[in-house]
Structure 1
């Protein structure tokens, strides 16, 4: 199995090298949560930040950027694979302006979800506000390069969207409000309704190319394993089952919207679940040693400010770990996931 994976990875790298010279996507535009946030939370009043060390310690220059990783996140790798810049800047980052955002911009906010109530938990940017920022960006882009060129970029750009995990782990399973209102299956349907409305709103704004990520095996995140005392700190399979069910519903929604809206191409990257689960269950195939704990601090419950640079427990080599903190992947995991998805993205969107 390991040999097959290595051969596939080499083949995908060849495809990427060829594609870099042929890519037709003019920009990568990002919506979502901490899996794709490149620093927007740095600029808002929230406890959920990562603009301090050890975050970003393996980034160029060893500087934290607000990405919840030791270095880059998936949109960065996707942008580079399409022949664009190797980093997608955060929209709220004052170091960047509209000329930087013309080839890629990130509106994502760590801690957010489809549900507005999820963003309220840690006072982060709700999804509706991400859309408002996008509308503002559209107007700035038109003023910067003209309506015709702006329309071309906005229509041909690839939109990368990653949402949903926080809705369950930060909101539904942690707080009582949604549990009183919905069963977990009803809450899934509630979120799918919001997701469909979001997809249709983007279409009305001129968006045509979307990579939408489904839920990972969220019961296998180190934090969930830490609190799974009765399960001997194994994966919480109840949460994984919910993720699988949600992904099926998301797939059906995507098929419906693709069918009903002419020219719309939404690719649901549902394979993320299987790949992450495989990394966790057979880590040696991917060059990992540790899956049940994260690199940062004790690796059991820490993230954001609990990931202190002063902790003596933080690992020396993050490449041996699937997870960087108790909730987020290492750069190596992000790259493996991106390399797995990019050939499909290049095939569909070039």
Structure 2
């Protein structure tokens, strides 16, 4: 093998073959996903925060250096994020545009749009920390989007599009790491378990609101192993740079609540197809056995020292960033690389979201 050439593992090769088969099924099946509509945080924000007054931004180098044209779009990644890969897997566009980006209009959004905002959460108090878009505001944007879609497609076709669209939710990490375990407010009001119930209640109300607006296909995203993020490992000096078990246990507990919520709502809301998309175990597998997926570094990120930087701190250290992000599990101290995002997205599509093709 030539120097610099990446080795393709059997696991990755098998994954690519299965995904190609899945894409052929997309073309053959009569069932379809008309659009990918996204709510959430930085894991799925494609640049909405560029257009609001907040420091929670990534519209500068080295972010986006591996995106089409080498452009920093506002995605917290070196390239594409999971929802971009999911959209492509369903035969739609290879990226999902940000709702607030003036470059796009309803003709672009008709097949996919993200209302997500980096640093937000289920809890309004989480979005207040860095003055970002709260979940209730994302829902208001969605209502406006539906009106524009009706004007663009006609009311009947717009309703069909919404009913056939896959609505993706990806948030919750910030509620714990940015809010509950960092700010003084919520921890004095709730035990960790009570706070989980509080957040799950917000998630339930949000899904009921989506259902009331015509959504029938919904993916509720779970939490990753939060304690294994480089930032948390770096600040866990007593743990010797190991994953922080307390945060991982919280993620597991909360994921169990969300899974139970999907069972409950599927029983209560006629015609709803709600699934739980859990990234926890595939992310933990990548972090614990990176070599199986072609990675070389998992405990530090590509950006600068790979321990503390994200957002503007990553920008300041850009000259020290790694040369090949595909060898790293994490891009900055909080967010995965494009390569990791692609693996997680393929896993979720093949394990969970494939149901929407049947």
TM-score with structure 2 setting the length: 0.94
2:310 maps to 1:303: yes
- How far does residue 135 in structure 1 lie from its aligned partner after superposition? 0.3
- Structure 2 residue corresponding to 1:127, chosen from 113, 132, 135: 135
- Structure 2 residue corresponding to 1:10, chosen from 6, 9, 17: 17
**2:300–2:307 contact (8 Å) kept in structure 1:** yes
Per the alignment, residue 199 of structure 2 pairs with 191
Which string of whole-angstrom CA distances, capped at 9 and with x for unpartnered residues, describes residues 169-204 of structure 1?
000000110010001011001101111111111111
* SS in structure 1 at match of 2:210: helix
- How far does residue 308 in structure 1 lie from its aligned partner after superposition? 1.5
Question: How many residues are paired up?
Answer: 348
Which string of whole-angstrom CA distances, capped at 9 and with x for unpartnered residues, describes residues 104-135 of structure 1?
11100000000000000000000000000000
Q: Return 5+ residue gaps in structure 2 as ranges.
A: 1-8
- How far does residue 311 in structure 1 lie from its aligned partner after superposition? 3.4
2:325 maps to 1:318: yes
2:89 maps to 1:81: yes
Distance in 2 (CA, whole Å) between partners of 1:20 and 1:69 is: 30
Alignment of 1:32-181 (within 5 A): 32-181=40-189
Alignment of 1:307-346 (within 5 A): 307-308=314-315, 311-343=318-350, 344-346=352-354
Which string of whole-angstrom CA distances, capped at 9 and with x for unpartnered residues, describes residues 133-180 of structure 1?
000001111111110011010111001110100000000000110010
- Structure 2 residue corresponding to 1:269, chosen from 244, 269, 277: 277
Greater shift, 301-310 or 213-222, is seen at 301-310
CA RMSD of aligned residues (A): 1.3
**1:44–1:124 contact (8 Å) kept in structure 2:** yes
- How far does residue 12 in structure 1 lie from its aligned partner after superposition? 3.3
- How far does residue 17 in structure 1 lie from its aligned partner after superposition? 3.4
**1:88–1:105 contact (8 Å) kept in structure 2:** yes
- Structure 2 residue corresponding to 1:247, chosen from 248, 252, 255: 255
* SS in structure 2 at match of 1:159: strand
Distance in 1 (CA, whole Å) between partners of 2:214 and 2:75 is: 28
**2:165–2:217 contact (8 Å) kept in structure 1:** yes
* SS in structure 2 at match of 1:308: helix
Per the alignment, residue 3 of structure 2 pairs with none
Distance in 2 (CA, whole Å) between partners of 1:5 and 1:315 is: 22
**2:169–2:221 contact (8 Å) kept in structure 1:** yes
Per the alignment, residue 288 of structure 1 pairs with 295
Alignment of 1:226-245 (within 5 A): 226-245=234-253
Distance in 2 (CA, whole Å) between partners of 1:335 and 1:251 is: 23
TM-score with structure 1 setting the length: 0.97
**2:217–2:356 contact (8 Å) kept in structure 1:** no
